[in-house]
Chains A and B, each alone.
Chain A
Amino acid sequence: MKKKISILPVFLFLSILSVFFYLLLIERNPSEIPSQLINKEIPNFKTNYLLSEKEFISTKVFKKEVMLINFFATWCKPCRDEHDFIKKLAYNKKIKIVGINYKDSSKKTINWLKELGNPYNAVIEDKKGKIAIDLGVYGIPETFIVDANGIIIYRHVGPINNKIYKKIVLITNNLK
C-alpha cells in the first residue's frame, strides 16, 4: 500500500518532464502569434503608389492570381537582409509581389530600391500603418501569400530565410 503511493508522484513528475522535453525538441517559436487572417479574405484598402500618382485599390489588384504581400521599410535591417530572397521569388519563380512600404519616407524608399533593386510589381505606401493594422501586422518584415480568390493562405513574421523561401515556393506552386 505504501509503495503504491510513492510511485505516483514519480510517475507524474516524469510525465510532466517528458512533456517539457517534447516542447523543447519540436520546432516552435513561442513568441510567434498565430495569424487570425489565415483562410480569410484580404481586407479592402486604398492607398497610393510610391512611384506613380495613381490610386491603389486592393479589390482591383487581388483576386486575379496568386500574389505575395511584403511589408518592408528602409529603416528595417531584416528587410534589407531578406531582399535577395524577394528578388529570387520575383525573378526566378515569377511570383507577383506587392510591396507595402511601412511608415517610411518616399524619398528614402526610392533610393533604397535603386540601390538594392526593385522586384515588386507594385510598391504602395502605408504611411500611418493603417493597412498593417488591417492585416494584423505587428513586426515587419511580414510576408503574406494571397491566392487567386483573394484568400490569405500563409503568413510569415520576420525576414525570409532559405527555409521560408522554399516554403513559399512550395505553397505558391501548389496554388497554381
Chain B
Amino acid sequence: MEKTKKIKVGLFHFLIFLILFFNNQSVGVEPNEVLKNNKLEKVAREISKNIRCMVCQNQSIDDSNAPLAKDLRILIREKLMEGKNPDQIYKFLTDRYGDFILLKPAFKLNTLALWLSPFLFFIIGIFIIFKQNLMAKKKN
C-alpha cells in the first residue's frame, strides 16, 4: 500500500517536471507584431533569436519583453518587408550596437582564441593523458 502511494506521488512529480521542462520556451513576440507573410515572419523569428537584448543582455530579443527588444523586432520586420536580406539586417544592427548584439560571437581575428582555445585544450589534454600512460607503462 505504502509503496504504490510513493510510486504515484513520484509519477505525479515527474509529470509536473515534464510539463515545466517542455513549457519553458518563453516568447516575447506579441501578436500584433507578427507579419502576415509566413515566410518572412519565419525569417524574422530566426534573426531575432540570434540578436541579443541589449537591456537584459542574456536573452534574445525573441524572448525578451523589454521595450527596446520590441522596437528591434519591429525594425527587423520592417526591413524584411522593404526587401532587405538577413545579412543586411545583421550588418545594420552590428554597425550600431557592435558584435555584442549577436548572441553567438562572430568568427573573427579578435575572437579566434575564444573559438579555438577549446580545441587547443582538448589536444593538450590528450597529450597529457598519452604522456602519463607512457610513464606508467615504463614504471611497470
Contact = CB atoms under 8 A, between A and B. Distances in A.
A56 to B, nearest CB: 20
Interface residues of A, number: 16
Given A103-B67, A138-B68, A133 B57 contact: no
B113 interface: no
A138 B98 contact: no
Contacts of A129: 67-68, 71
Interface stretch (B6-14, B38-46, B89-97, B114-122): B89-97
A36 B68 contact: no
Contacts of A121: none
Interface in B96-121: 96-98, 100
A36 B72 contact: no
Given A128-B71, A133-B72, A138-B55, A33 B98 contact: yes
B55 A36 contact: no
Interface of B: 54-55, 57, 67-68, 71-72, 75, 94-98, 100
Contacts of A35: 98
Query: Could you say which of B54, B72, B96, B100 has the most chain A C-beta atoms within 10 Å of its C-beta?
Result: B96
Interface in A107-159: 128-130, 133-136, 138-139
A29 interface: no
A37 interface: yes
A36 B57 contact: no
A135 B72 CA distance: 13
B97 A36 contact: yes
Contact of A136 (B57, B71, B75, B96): B96
Contact of A36 (B71, B75, B95): B95
B68 to A, nearest CB: 6
B96 A133 contact: yes
Contacts of B72: 133
B68 A136 contact: no
